[in-house]
């Protein structure tokens, strides 16, 4: 049994905790979240399972971060490496392995090389490993792209896009994507940094470029409003015609003057109301050309929970240090004993 602590019990973390409980080879030994309403409650009641599990939700990690208590922490608290560093230092410094779903942790060297070096050294000093994963970055627009390129004799350029539906998400996502506001307010939000679009493009492009040796030396990102022609109503927002339904975020990775990787992520509420299907699309222009498409989109929340939990045995068995999704065995659903014993 691999003993797991779940740190962060929000939309993602609570789904991960439930999934950990379903897996024969994993044992949930601790849960941490600062929400006052969770303090001291049994994790079974916080997850709405209707049964007690004998594991209390703690606001702090006191007493949990100990190799005698746990093997690994799965953390789902924020998107940003710098913001998560205090927790990551505590986890690795205590001799526990770690999986983070913070988008920037998919490849922290992309934007914070000094933090990536610190994490790598801290993990090695404590004989543990740390991985960033999630649906995107961590899977659709990087690992899948790289894996598909594995059959190619040569690659000229890559273009991939993920078209998704934001309507299940909450107010924070609506605000950071600029949903429901005027196109002018959207442009102001992009300029002042309150509208961020997708977090993770520099990380995905870094992973692709490093894996293939494409030599990307700069990434240029653009964020444009998706202006709705029709009324779109979601749980947390109403978009009038003429207002913004989402953010079309594009990132292009250049090697010198040549655009070698283009990633496109138009995120909006109810794209079907204007005839737009959701899906994931990867085009590799090379020998041979590769065209992959899935529809509808690979479900983001479920997929992130799945990846974080399915990677647990690989991270526990990995050599010490900072890892990304390309360093470890391909993710696979943990369905039986052999899935826990893959070669690393």
Q: Please report, as ranges, the residues that interact with ligand NAD according to CB under 6 A.
A: 8-13, 32-35, 76-79, 87, 101, 103, 134-138, 304
Output the residue with the shortest Cβ distance to ligand NAD: 10
Q: What share of the chain is helix, strand, coil (3-state, %, to 5)?
A: 35, 30, 40
**Which of 229, 233, 226, 301 minimizes the C-alpha distance to 267?**
226
What's the rounded Cα separation, in Å, for the pair 201 and 44? Answer: 36
**Which of 61, 55, 29, 32 minimizes the C-alpha distance to 43?**
55
Taking the complex as a whole, the smallest distance from the CB of residue 108 to ligand NAD amounts, in Å, to 12
DSSP string across 243-282: SEEEEEEEEEEEETTEEEEEEEEEEES-GGGGTPPPEEEE
Taking the complex as a whole, the smallest distance from the CB of residue 172 to ligand NAD amounts, in Å, to 7
Sign of the four-CA dihedral 245, 10, 333, 104: positive
Taking the complex as a whole, the smallest distance from the CB of residue 5 to ligand NAD amounts, in Å, to 11
Which two structure tokens, joined as six digits, stand for 147? 């894996």
Residue closer to ligand NAD, measured from CB, 28 or 243: 28
Parallel, antiparallel or unpaired: strands 290-294 and 279-287: antiparallel
Strands (E) across the chain are located at: 2-7, 26-32, 57-58, 72-75, 97-100, 129-132, 154-165, 218-227, 232-234, 237-239, 244-255, 258-268, 279-287, 290-294, 321-323
- Per the CB < 8 A criterion, the answer to whether 303 and 296 are in contact is no
- Per the CB < 8 A criterion, the answer to whether 205 and 253 are in contact is yes
Residue closer to ligand NAD, measured from CB, 176 or 209: 176
- Per the CB < 8 A criterion, the answer to whether 95 and 122 are in contact is no
Residue closer to ligand NAD, measured from CB, 33 or 109: 33
Q: For residue 306, give the H/E element and its range.
A: helix 300-310
Taking the complex as a whole, the smallest distance from the CB of residue 33 to ligand NAD amounts, in Å, to 4
Q: Give one word for 275, left, alpha or beta, with left for phi > 0 and alpha for psi -120 to 50.
A: left
Residue closer to ligand NAD, measured from CB, 10 or 241: 10
Taking the complex as a whole, the smallest distance from the CB of residue 7 to ligand NAD amounts, in Å, to 6
Taking the complex as a whole, the smallest distance from the CB of residue 25 to ligand NAD amounts, in Å, to 23
Taking the complex as a whole, the smallest distance from the CB of residue 282 to ligand NAD amounts, in Å, to 16
Residue closer to ligand NAD, measured from CB, 34 or 319: 34
Taking the complex as a whole, the smallest distance from the CB of residue 72 to ligand NAD amounts, in Å, to 17
């Amino acid at each position: 049994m691999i003993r797991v602590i779940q740190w962060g019990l929000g939309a993602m973390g609570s789904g991960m905790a439930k999934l950990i409980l379903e897996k024969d080879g994993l044992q949930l030994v601790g849960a941490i979240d600062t929400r006052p309403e969770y303090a001291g409650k049994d994790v079974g009641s916080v997850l709405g399972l209707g049964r007690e599990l004998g594991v209390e939700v703690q606001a702090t990690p006191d007493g949990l971060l100990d190799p005698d208590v746990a093997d690994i922490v799965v953390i789902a608290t924020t998107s940003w490496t710098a913001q998560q560093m205090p927790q990551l230092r505590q986890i690795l410094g205590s001799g526990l392995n770690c999986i983070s779903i913070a988008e920037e942790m998919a490849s922290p060297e992309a934007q914070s090389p000094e933090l990536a070096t610190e994490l790598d050294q801290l993990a090695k000093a404590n004989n543990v490993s740390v991985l960033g994963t999630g649906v995107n970055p961590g899977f659709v627009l990087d690992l899948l792209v790289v894996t598909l390129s594995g059959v190619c004799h040569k690659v000229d350029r890559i273009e991939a896009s993920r078209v998704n539906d934001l309507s299940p998400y909450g107010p924070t996502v609506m605000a950071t994507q600029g949903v429901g506001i005027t196109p002018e307010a959207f442009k102001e939000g992009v300029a002042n940094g309150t509208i961020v679009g997708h977090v993770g493009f520099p990380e995905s492009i870094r992973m692709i470029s490093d894996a293939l040796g494409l030599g990307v030396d700069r990434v240029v990102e653009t964020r444009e409003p998706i202006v709705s022609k029709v009324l779109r109503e979601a749980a947390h927002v109403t978009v009038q015609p003429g207002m913004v339904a989402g953010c079309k975020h594009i990132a292009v990775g250049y090697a010198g003057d040549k655009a070698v990787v283009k990633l496109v992520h138009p995120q909006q509420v109810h794209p079907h109301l204007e005839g737009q299907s959701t899906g994931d699309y990867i085009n590799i222009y090379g020998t041979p050309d590769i065209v992959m498409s899935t529809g509808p989109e690979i479900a983001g929340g479920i997929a992130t929970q799945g990846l974080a939990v399915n990677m647990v045995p690989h991270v526990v068995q990995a050599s010490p240090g900072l890892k990304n999704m390309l360093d470890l065995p391909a993710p696979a659903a943990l369905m039986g004993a052999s899935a826990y014993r893959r070669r690393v």
